[in-house]
Structure formats: C-alpha cells, structure tokens
Structure 1
Amino acid sequence: MANLSIPFHINESMTSTALITGITGQDGYYLSRLLLDKGYRVVGLVPPDRQESVTKLDDLADRVDIYSVDLTDSQALRLAVEQLLPTEVYNLAAPSFVPDSWADPLGTLDLITGTATRLLDAIRAVKLRTRFYQASSSEIFGDVQSAPQSEQTPFRPKNPYGAAKLHAHWTMVHHREHYGLYACSGILYNHESPRRPPQFVTRKISLAAASIKLGLTDRLVMGNLDAKRDWGFAGDYVQAMWQMLQMKAPDDYVIGTGCLHTVRDLVAAAFAAVDLDWTGYVEVDPTLIRADEHFQLVANPTKAKQKLQWTPQVSFEELIEHMVRQDLERLQAGTVAPLGGHSS
C-alpha cells in the first residue's frame, strides 16, 4: 500500500461537505435529505445538459448547491474537488433503468466506471482525506449459483449495466488497496420508493392500482407474477451508505432485506392498499415474461447488520402501501398520468 505521509488538504469549514453524482435520481433525493438533516452542505455534480433535472429534487432544490460539471472531463472534476474540498463523495451516477444499458453499453461503461475512476483520481491528485462511496448493485452477482448472496459470492454479471458496475467496484477496491484511499462500496439490492419512474415494476403496479381505484383505467397487464425480488425502501438504503463512511476502516457491504417477494405479492399488496381484489383487474401477457426470471437475487445482509448496526425500518407491505397512497394523491392532483390497461 502506498505511503500516505504526504500532506493532505483538509476542509477547515465546521460544516461537512458532501458531493453527490446522480443527485436528481431516487437515491440522490433521499441521500440529500438525510445529509441535509445531519447538517451537511450538499453539492450535486450535474452535467451542463442535465441542469433542468434539478427540478426533480422538489422541496430540496433550494437546499442543495448545484455544481455544473461534465462527468467525462477529468480536469473539470479535479477542479471541482479542489474548489469544494468534500468531506464525503457519493458516486451514484448511472443509467436509471438497467435494460437501457443494452442500447448503449459504451456510454453505460463510461458513465458508471469512468465517473468512478475520474473522481477517485481527483481525490488522490488533490491529496484529500475524502471518504468515497461507490454505488454498486446486486446486478454484479448476475447469474447466481446460490442464494442468498454475501460479500464472498462470485460475481457473474449478465448485462452491460452489471458489468460496468463490477468494473467500477474493482476500480474502487484498487484505489483503496493500492493508494490507501478511504473508499467503500454498497452492493445494493432492489430499493424502491414513490420517486421511481413508471417503467420500474414497483411503480408501474402502484400507479396502476391507484388509477384503477379512481376509475381512470380498468386493468393492469403483467408478465411473470412468480418472479421474485428482494425489495426494500430507498430511504433505508441511503442510511446504510452514510453509515459506511462513518466507520473507522473502509469496507464493502451487501445491503438488502434478505427476504424474497414475488411480483404477485407486490400486486396483492398494492391492490389491498386501495381495498381491491387484484385478481379481477390483472392480466398476464406471456410475451412480457423475461427469460432470466428464474435467477434469485436475494441479499445476505449479515455483515451490514453486525458491523454497521443497519437493518431496514420499512417493511415490504408498508413500502408498497406508501407508494400507492402517493400515486393516489398525484392522480387526484393531476400531477401524473394514469397507468394501466384500457381507459374505462
């Protein structure tokens, strides 16, 4: 490991500064809210062509600072680190929807791995004691041969997104081991919230249940109802991210509930939240069934529970009910369009 006796630049402000890439996404919102509540100065690194996306932060938009920077520009990122002297960096930048990575594998690789590499190099070049969090994903396990998965489970990614996340994960590990940087990775399983876009199955179902309850649509078309996932609440998972960077030594952690639920469970919970029997409204379309649904990605979060003292606070049922209630309010306010099968 490199000798780190060289002098460091230290942020002398009494307020801790956190830089976040991907701040306008689901996790960026909940992480920003958590850090602001803890008294941090929160700075979002947002590409110039994505400035309008800051409005997605809603009530937090006026509470965070936005630094416009091209995430593919190494010099620009180094300048940002020099100017802002962050206490912590959370690299959440990634495509929002995994299947989209097939359409642009090189772009996915650069956004995920390139951004991680450039940020880590910037921290090293400026000689900061910054603590770095890399958002990894259960997608790096991919074609799993056993369940549940822990930090020792072999990595076998099955798509460009998972491959890019794995590359970024190892890049982070190499910077930690070779240069002595404080760098962590959270291997996060599916985590959801009302802030998910409708192309995610959880939000598709919550929005459809609310739409049907209000009489705006009459059915929901689904694929494999027997597919299983480890679903948790995004607000709980960002707490784990922060806790990782408060530990004495950096490490990597699997973050998930450790419980599998089927899509059928999800549908039943969503419709139960609006007092409807889902069987009268849901249709299965075999063409929507994906070939890889039989693989079971489920977390073994023992290490996080023991070392971080982290456990999920929101149950699966509470999460789905919260999402449906939020969609009811949005539909009634006219801020979202209904989702479902045919208009009634």
Structure 2
Amino acid sequence: MTDPLIRLTGIQKYYGDYHALRGIDLDIAEGEFFSLLGPSGCGKTTLLRTIAGFEGVDAGAVTIGGADMTRVPPNRRPTNMVFQSYAIFPHLSVAQNVAFGLRKRADLNAQARETLVADALDMVGLDGYGGRAAHALSGGQRQRVALARALVLRPKVLLLDEPLSALDKKMREQMQVELIRLQRQVGITFILVTHDQEEALVMSDRIAVMFEGEVAQIAEAEALYRRPVDRRVAEFIGVMNFLPAAVSGDRVEVAGLGALALNELQSTARTDGDTVAGFRPETATLLFDGQTAPDREAHGTVAEVVYYGDMTYYDVRLDDAAQPVRISMRNVFGRPVLDIGAPARLAWSPGAVTLFR
C-alpha cells in the first residue's frame, strides 16, 4: 500500500480552555480530492490551517511527503492556500496578482515568470486576461485568479477554504465542475473545507465529517451518504427520515412501517440502546392508481407538497406514526401531483432502512 501524502497523527489544538481539535488522525493520498465537511465551529478550517502551518498544534504531528512538517513555517511547506475572501490585490493586474508569489524566485528570469503565469491562467480558463484590472473582474473570475496564483507555485497540496461560498448558486455549481476538471488536469492533492454537503458530495473522492473538533466518519461520497455510521452524520448529510423503532430479538417494529426482520436491514444497523429507523427520501416512492409495490407498502396521508420543477417533495403522515416523512419524487409528464390531505400509498424496502442509536 502506498504511503499517504499527508498524515495527521493525534492532532490536538487548544485556544485557552477551548479544545478545538481533539486527537485527529487522518491520512490523505497523493492526487486525492479530499473534503473536510462539518457545521460552523466544528474545527475544519482550524485543521486546514494546521496543514498549511498557519496554526501550530499542542500535540501530534503533521507529515507531508514523508517529512515532519509540524514545526515548519507555512512558506517552507509544499502547500498553498486559496482563502475564502480570495485576497486579490485590486490595484494590480490579473497577471501581477498571479505572479505575486514568484517575486522572490531568484532562479526565474522575466520570461520564465511570464510563461508560468500564462500557463496558470490557461489552466483556470483565463487565457488572455493577464492585462485586465483585477478590480474589474466578476466573482467567478476573481476566484479563478486566486486559483491561478496558488497553482503557479506548483504546490504538492492545494488547500481550499470555502472558496465558492461567495458565489451565487449557478456560478457555484459551474465552479464545482471546473475545480473537479482542474484537479484532474494538474493531478495534485486538493483539500477542500466546506459546510455545504452537496458541494462535498459532488466534488470529493473522500470526505471527513467533523463535529466538535473530532472526525465522525471518513468515507467516499456514496458510502457516506448510503451508510452513515451514526444518526448525527445521517442528519447532516442530506435529508433522512427517522421513525421510532422497537427491537425484540431478531425483529424490529418501526412506527408506520410495521414489523420486519433485523437481517433485512442495512449492515450498519444498531440494535443497542434507544433506537430509530432511518431512510432517505428517494429510497421510497408514492404509488399512483394502478401501481403496486415491488416490496413493502405503507399507508398514510399527504401533509405537505413542495413543487421544485423537476422534483416534488411530499411530506406524508404514515398511519401509526406521529411525525411525517419526506418523500422525493421526480416529476414525470402526465402524472398528477397529489393534493394535501389526499390518501397516500408508500412503496419502500427494508434494505434501505438503517437503525440508529
């Protein structure tokens, strides 16, 4: 097995009495697009800054490329960071902004600098923009300039601190695709900090979900979404319905769904302590006239309808369940949208259900 490019071992960080990072152990492979995901204040940006060297650690070690970087200053680490604010110099041109990090490279003449800057601008789709004033750029263009300025130094690791948060939804989605393309093109390790679950799922090879200074789960995007290790991760990643459940021997009774065998559930099922059953909105479907359930069927009443164009989201109050469940349905031409108060039949499968403590 290849050694990781980055290895964090037992990272502890305090700010006075506040315990910001609590024994973080983490390996990141060379060429990986890795995301640190979590709510505000969970420690993800602090962890990114410890990799960059902007924050010291109170215990533990940071290793990059097999070398101990724990006490090495940021300018001597093979990393570069793109900040949330971009930190573009408005009085400089685009090319001058990109070349800023090269100003102390005595081994480069003017022509070599121009070539590196042109290559970096071409990477981010800004070929021909070098002479433009930085203050006249759009938000998406400023973000690309910040990326080019980081990439021109050819770091082993590019650190991205919520770089898309200032963009509107459409531009953010476009830049997500651009960052994926760019990372594949340059082949270096990207580490992204984000609180946006969808952004992390779309862009990452693997994701570390953090809460209160600890890593709760590390997994590939699909595994994280389909097989969360606990309820806290399940609630944070997307939407999940929860129903009270009672376990007795090898059987479980789920409110609104009825009785089923434990061995029918997902392999991550937990049967100790207080238990709830969880399933994703897209793993169940509403049945319309003439349709039959391929597996199990439950009954209830439509409590809310939210139309999103390509999708309709239904809140359905199942018989014998106190709280409604969310069901997402892709809209199909000619199929009616159910009204609030209409009776609902729900097709579901035990294989999509997980038990959580």
Relative to the length of structure 1, the TM-score reads: 0.26
- Which structure carries more helix by proportion? 1
**Which structure shows the bigger proportion of residues in strand conformation?**
2
The higher radius of gyration belongs to 2
Higher RCO (Cα < 8 Å, 6 or more apart): 1
